[in-house]
A and B are shown apart, each in its own frame.
Chain A
Amino acid sequence: MKSLEFRKEREGSWMELESLIARVEAGSLTTLSAAELSRLPVLYRATLSSLSVARAISLDVNVVEYLESLAARAYVCVYGAKRPALEAARRFLAERFPSTVRRLRRHLALAAALLLLGTLTGLGLTTTDPNHYYALVDEDYAQGRTPASTTEELRQVLYDDKHPVDLLGAFAMYLFTHNAKVGMMCAAFGFAAGVPVMLLLFSNGLILGAFAALYQERGLGLDFWAWILPHGVTELLAVLLCGAAGLAVGESLLFPGRHTRLANLGRRGREAGVVVLGAVLMLLLAGLVEGIFRQTVHNVPMRLSVAALSALFWAVYFTTVGRPETT
């Protein structure tokens, strides 16, 4: 019988592959010797071809099922292989992250526009009538910083040094984890057609604008920006990136273009994953600046120059790093 001869002929390589896979599944690829490692893809392809043949000529269910499962297990081993962690991190920072951000630049621009619009609205509303401040900023969030506060109280917040030095690290990490959670949530809500993302961006802009107006009115405008921008440049950019990722996911659902919604979502979703992961790293930096630098350095020109430097750094990073070499 043909199918029996076929099985006898190929069985050896199936068994060899199975024993290799069993070892990879129990430990990792590193348990294989160099020779065995080079055999793995060869045996995998041989088994795939066996599977195709078996489907065509064999009526033995067991053989076909066995080959299916063997091929699937081998597939996971061959295509589940991982790069070493350091190499993966380098590739992420030097290529994937900046180039993906560039691909989402339209969404980034939209996110920035929404945030800016919110900020200007908040600024305008609160400047015309300080009472709007109460409508825009939550009481918890304001923590006593309201139009009713004295200028001295407001100044106090900007040059706060009541945190004991040994808690600064903890404060920084608290800020980081909190912001990262909000950022990831923002991107994930893009799945709801991007609407919550837009709302989040706009309402955060409102709060920022209301604060700015409050401080502006007391003649503390420059102090306020010097207080918020050193970390704010990085933090707001990270929030915008999360927002852009969310908008891209939402767009893929609303306007799928040439692809199906499902394929589009998968593609965009991965890009969003890359961007959000990078944004989380940026928020870590922002948290450190906010929690440690801001609490210890109170010099306005110093604060502003850090803000300018970080803005320059991100501008250069996102426009130049990881571009394919043009030759």
Chain B
Amino acid sequence: MAAPRGRVREVVTPEGVPLRWTLADAGERAGAFLIDLLILMGTSIALLIATVILAGVTGGIGIAIGLVAFFILRTFYFTFFESRWKGATPGKRAVRLRVVDAHGGPLTAEAVFARNLMREVEFFVPLVALLAPASLGDSLPGWARLVSLGWLLVFALLPLFNRDRLRPGDLVGGTLVVRAPRALLLEDLSGARTSPRAAAAPQYRFTREQLDIYGIYELQVLEELLRSQGPVRWESLRAVSDKVQAKLRWQPPVSDRDAERFLHDFYTAQRRRLEQKMMLGHRQERKRATRRP
């Protein structure tokens, strides 16, 4: 997959099967938050204009409606979307993130509310403290302001200091923010199904000794190479084919034109062999150490 690999966290579903989620990194989360913040600000400005117009027409009722609308927007924006859109706000959706329960259960509304309750203390208060420290209290002595500022910054920067990139809201709500999964089911490389090339009977045959050299890791690197697209694919295939031939002591050498075919057949035979061994309880993870003659 093209996406950079990130930290993985296993969550066991109620059915007892562990699912692996890739945690969102700090940049993605900041991006999603920024988008949400822009939407919030845009909506606030629109709301302000609407309130001014409404107040002009209806008087006090208009102001009352405006005040409540502001409150609801600010307090429930994140909560509403995260509980309605299956754990994603518009910003998270754009960056392809999701909130999930850290223990594999359903994502409840109260967890969502709790995690967003903390946002006030984590983000808005430090922001105010940085931009307008006077509003934290005039009567506070300088050192107390400094201490409270440091304290609040600890809250805001907490996600950078823990393994799972949890912010205080995630701790309180028991949630994780993960990348929304998206993987396509590709053709089975060994499969004799649609590709006419693969459909043909294997052209190259390998001995058991040759198939015992490489392990699962190498097999899966080969899979990635065979599935890859791009300008350097042919060169890589030729280079890998040469390497594999040297390792297997393959005679006579395969022509460059047939490199892909050779690797294809090798992949199929190798996978069959390794899966067979796996079923008998032996997982060969890596290639064997080379014994020099």
Residues of chain A at the chain B interface (Cβ within 8 Å): 1-4, 7, 11, 14-15, 18, 25, 45, 48-49, 51-52, 56-63, 65-66, 68-73, 75-77, 79-82, 88, 96, 138, 164, 166-170, 172-174, 176-177, 180-181, 184-185, 187-189, 191-192, 249, 262-263, 265-274, 276-277, 280
| B196 CB-CB contact with A under 8 Å | no
| Secondary structure class of chain B's binding surface, majority of residues | helix
A–B pairs, 25, beta carbons within 8 Å: A1-B190, A1-B268, A51-B17, A57-B275, A62-B223, A68-B181, A72-B19, A75-B19, A79-B105, A79-B106, A167-B60, A169-B60, A170-B61, A174-B67, A184-B75, A191-B171, A263-B103, A265-B172, A266-B171, A266-B173, A267-B174, A269-B171, A273-B114, A276-B117, A277-B110
Q: Tell me the smallest distance from the CB of A143 to a CB of chain B, in Å.
A: 16
Task: Say yes or no: B181 contacts A69, CB within 8 Å.
Answer: yes
Which residues of chain A come closer than 8 Å to B186, judged between CB atoms?
62, 66
The residue of chain A having its C-beta at the shortest distance from the C-beta of B84 within the complex is A82
Which residues of chain A come closer than 8 Å to B243, judged between CB atoms?
none
Q: Taking A45-B15, A173-B68 as contacts, is the C-beta distance between A265 and B271 under 8 angstroms?
A: no
Task: Say yes or no: A72 contacts B70, CB within 8 Å.
Answer: no
Q: Taking A76-B86, A266-B102, A274-B110 as contacts, is the C-beta distance between A185 and B15 under 8 angstroms?
A: no
Task: Say yes or no: A63 contacts B185, CB within 8 Å.
Answer: yes
Which residues of chain A come closer than 8 Å to B236, judged between CB atoms?
none
Q: Tell me the smallest distance from the CB of B286 to a CB of chain A, in Å.
A: 13
The residue of chain A having its C-beta at the shortest distance from the C-beta of B227 within the complex is A62
Task: Say yes or no: A60 contacts B189, CB within 8 Å.
Answer: yes
Which residues of chain B come closer than 8 Å to A188, judged between CB atoms?
117-118, 120-121
| B2 CB-CB contact with A under 8 Å | no
| B287 CB-CB contact with A under 8 Å | no
Task: Say yes or no: B174 contacts A270, CB within 8 Å.
Answer: yes
In the complex, which of the residues B13, B113, B185 contacts A62, with contact meaning CB atoms closer than 8 Å?
Answer: B185
Which residues of chain A come closer than 8 Å to B279, judged between CB atoms?
2, 57
In the complex, which of the residues A15, A57, A66, A269 contacts B278, with contact meaning CB atoms closer than 8 Å?
Answer: A57
Q: Tell me the smallest distance from the CB of A156 to a CB of chain B, in Å.
A: 22
* Proximity bits, B154-181, A CB within 8 Å = 1, else 0: 0100000000000010011110000011
Task: Say yes or no: A71 contacts B19, CB within 8 Å.
Answer: yes
| B111 CB-CB contact with A under 8 Å | yes
Task: Say yes or no: B172 contacts A272, CB within 8 Å.
Answer: yes
* Proximity bits, B95-137, A CB within 8 Å = 1, else 0: 0001011110111111101110110110001000000000000
| B252 CB-CB contact with A under 8 Å | no
Which residues of chain B come closer than 8 Å to A68, judged between CB atoms?
19-20, 181, 183
Which residues of chain A come closer than 8 Å to B184, judged between CB atoms?
66
Measured between alpha carbons, how far is A14 from B184 in the docked complex, in Å?
11
Task: Say yes or no: A169 contacts B64, CB within 8 Å.
Answer: yes
- Starting from the known contacts A63-B185, A191-B172, 11 additional A-B residue pairs (CB-CB under 8 Å) come to A1-B190, A3-B275, A57-B278, A63-B188, A72-B21, A82-B109, A166-B60, A170-B63, A266-B171, A270-B108, A276-B113
Tell me the B184-243 residues at the A interface (CB within 8 Å).
Answer: 184-186, 188-191, 216, 219-220, 223-224, 227
In the complex, which of the residues A52, A62, A82, A269 contacts B17, with contact meaning CB atoms closer than 8 Å?
Answer: A52
Task: Say yes or no: A66 contacts B13, CB within 8 Å.
Answer: no
Q: Taking A1-B190, A174-B67, A177-B68 as contacts, is the C-beta distance between A60 and B223 under 8 angstroms?
A: yes
Measured between alpha carbons, how far is A3 from B278 in the docked complex, in Å?
11
Q: Taking A76-B100, A167-B60, A170-B64 as contacts, is the C-beta distance between A269 and B121 under 8 angstroms?
A: no
| B139 CB-CB contact with A under 8 Å | yes
Which residues of chain A come closer than 8 Å to B216, judged between CB atoms?
59
Q: Tell me the smallest distance from the CB of B107 to a CB of chain A, in Å.
A: 6
